[in-house]
Structure formats: C-alpha cells, structure tokens
Amino acid sequence: MAKKENIASVLAFEKKLVPSDGYMYGTCWDVRAEQTTPLKLQEKSVRGTISNRQKPAVQKDPAKLNAEVEKANLQTVDACSLAPEQDTLKLHFTLKVLGGICQPSACNNAAFKQSYAKAARTYIEKEAFGELARRYALNLANARYLWRNRVGAEKIEVVVNALNGEKKQWKFDATEFTTRHFDADDNQVNDLAAHMAKALASDDDFLMLDICCYAKVGKAQEVYPSEELVLDKGKGSKSKVLYSVENMAAMHSQKLGNALRTIDTWYPEFTDVEQSAGPIAIEPFGAVTNLGRAFRTPKEKQDFYSLFDNWARGEQLSRTEDEHYVMAVLVRGGVFGESDK
C-alpha cells in the first residue's frame, strides 16, 4: 500500500468532454438543414389499465380481480412528438473538448500531484489520446446519444462542425456505424478523432464542436427527451415530467455525456457472450444503471481506484487497456479523494 505522505485526500478532476443540453427540433428529411421547428412538450392524460401483479388472494378470486381491474388508472404524463407533417427529429448540441488533464482541479498533496502528472504525461506521450478520441469520435458518428430515438430510425445523418481553429465539417451516415463495437476504420472518423485527440492531449487548448443529428423516425412519431428526476412531485398527479429549456424539448447534457463515454469494452465480462452488456459507459465501478449492476468491482481489482492508486504513484499497469480505462475516467471527471486513515 502507498506510503501515508503520498495520499491525496482531496482530489478532483473536471470533465474534459463538456456537452451542452441537446435541443430537439422537428423537420422533414428533404429540407432538414433549412426548416426546423422547436419541439414542445405536451401534457397527456390517459386512462390506463390496472396491469400490475396482484396479490394471490385477488388473483384467485374473479370477483375481487374484476373490482380491482375496473378502477380507472388515470395518469397524466408529459410526451413529445413530431408534428403530423414532420418525419425527422433534429437533435442539436455543442461539445467542448478540453485539455489539461495533467493538472487535477483540486489536489492537496504535492507529492501525489507530481507522480500523477508524470504518469499522465507518459500516457500522453505514448498514446496521444488516439484510442480514446477514436472511440469518442465513433460515438459521435454512430449517434449513440439519440438513445431511444435511435431505435428504428430509417436514416440518421450526423453533421459535426468545428467552431474554432481550423473550420472543418464532417458528415456521417450513422447507420453505417454500429454501437456494438469500435472496430470501424473510417477516414472521416479518424480525422475527427485526430482533432479531438489533439485537444485532449494539449495543456490548455480546446476544441468546440457543433453537432446536428437528423433522425428520420416517421411522420408524427413520438420522440424521447430526457425525463426529469423530481423526487417530491407534490400534490399534482403528473407521473412523468420531461425536460424542456425555454419551452423546447431537450435532452440533459449528462445523458449526452454518458453516451459519448460509452467506450468501455475492457471490463472482464465484455468477451463473455452471456454476461456481456456490450460497450458500457466509463464509470469508476463500471456501473450500468438499467441493469442495476457494477461490472468493475474492487473484489476483482478491476475498478478505477484499484488501478488508479498504483498507476498514479508510478507503477505500470499490466495492460494498455487498463491505462485507456483509467485515463477515460479522468476525462469523465469526478471526485476521487482517498481516505488517509
């Protein structure tokens, strides 16, 4: 274990991929670049059915079951859909890629800071963020950040513009890129990745990207903005509250960020056909919320802290993939202080 004078109890990193909220517009595929209208949330009240599991006593007694099922299950929810004449969803957001990963934003131990910075510099010299940037770029190209809106879309086009430095534009047909693996080798993606890698590896430079994603989902189809986390909804009966900014349906920046950093194919179960969850988001414990599982547990010494603590103090990691993973967690950012007890 590390010596006591080498422990940073205050240690934090800012995120290096900074997405804005994603704003949702409706349009038609043929005029997608010219005409768009902001999508609004609609409140719906529906009469639902009682379809949850009932107690055995109720299940077995038809009269009781009838009485239960006859109840009106009234629900008020937010919803969002394209206008009747529109067939395409436009999702617009910006993404800032920052450098300066060698400097923690807060660190209270000079010795640790030095050994960490050395390890980070060695990584940058060796890898220059090539692999991570390639994966981030692929996630931009494959439109993973559409989440549920991506499912069943007929055509998806992604237009990425660099807003600073060399003005460049990249166009992708997202359906050509799978979200299952990162084996694709595409010139456009590689070029975008090179720009992102340059910013990530820099000391204090940045890259500002503007992303417009068009998904042809069908006329008047429902689209899916982020749902708000309201723990105490008060007296109101609304059971689902969706996110909107200035009256425009939107996706949380956190949700876009999670999709962009869904690049972890290095966790132990990935190759296991039964257990694998595909690429998962970069998280210190490899947590996947909708499975309620952590794929990198301290027991297997595959979590971020087990790897980072030794690596940042100058030890080599056995696999390059582990180094990619550790750096990707730092790009994600967070508070990683260690108890000094």
Partner 1 sequence: MSSDYLVIPRIKVHNANALSSPFTVGFPAMTAWLGAVHALQRKLNQQSITAEFSAVGVVSHAFDLQTYQGAGDFVHSIIGTANPLDKNGNRPAFIEEARCHLTVSLVIEISAMTGEQQNQLIEGVQHLLNARMKIAGGDILQFQTPFIANDFTQFRNQLMPGYAIVERRDLMVEAMEQGEDALDALIGYLQVENHCQPAEVDDQNPPDEKAKVIWSRQRKENAKGWLVPIATGFHAISPLGQAKNQRDTDAPHRFAESLVTLGEFKMPYQLEQASDLLWYYETDLTNNVYLCQQAPEADGF
Contact residues toward partner 1 (CB under 8 A) are 9-10, 14, 18, 20-21, 94, 96, 98-100, 106, 108, 110, 164, 204-206, 208, 228-238, 241, 245-246, 253-254, 283-285, 287-289, 291-294, 297-298, 303, 340
Distance in Å, CB of 203 to partner 1, minimum: 9
When the beta carbons of 61 and 340 are compared against partner 1, the nearer one is 340
DSSP type of residue 204:
S
Distance in Å, CB of 96 to partner 1, minimum: 7
Distance in Å, CB of 156 to partner 1, minimum: 25
- Can you tell me the distance from the alpha carbon of 154 to that of 317, in angstroms, rounded to the nearest whole number? 43
77's CB contacts (< 8 A; 6+ apart) are 43, 44, 46, 238, 239, 240
257's CB contacts (< 8 A; 6+ apart) are 15, 17, 19, 332
Residue with tokens 């934003």: 105
Distance in Å, CB of 229 to partner 1, minimum: 4
Distance in Å, CB of 214 to partner 1, minimum: 22
Q: What are phi and psi of 132, to 5 degrees?
A: -60, -45
When the beta carbons of 58 and 277 are compared against partner 1, the nearer one is 277
Distance in Å, CB of 219 to partner 1, minimum: 31
When the beta carbons of 53 and 235 are compared against partner 1, the nearer one is 235
When the beta carbons of 64 and 293 are compared against partner 1, the nearer one is 293
Distance in Å, CB of 241 to partner 1, minimum: 6
**CB–CB of 34/127 below 8 Å?**
no
When the beta carbons of 231 and 273 are compared against partner 1, the nearer one is 231
When the beta carbons of 28 and 294 are compared against partner 1, the nearer one is 294
Side chain identity at residue 290, one-letter code: N
Describe the strand order of the beta sheet including 11-13 as a list of residue ranges.
106-107, 11-13, 334-335
DSSP type of residue 222:
B
Distance in Å, CB of 252 to partner 1, minimum: 8
SS3 48: strand
When the beta carbons of 96 and 118 are compared against partner 1, the nearer one is 96
- Can you tell me the distance from the alpha carbon of 173 to that of 213, in angstroms, rounded to the nearest whole number? 10
- Can you tell me the distance from the alpha carbon of 138 to that of 189, in angstroms, rounded to the nearest whole number? 6
Tokens found for residue 279? 């690429």
- Can you tell me the distance from the alpha carbon of 67 to that of 54, in angstroms, rounded to the nearest whole number? 12
DSSP 75-100: EEEEE-B--TT--EEEEEEEEEEE--
Strand partners for 88: 27, 216
- Can you tell me the distance from the alpha carbon of 290 to that of 160, in angstroms, rounded to the nearest whole number? 29
When the beta carbons of 2 and 287 are compared against partner 1, the nearer one is 287
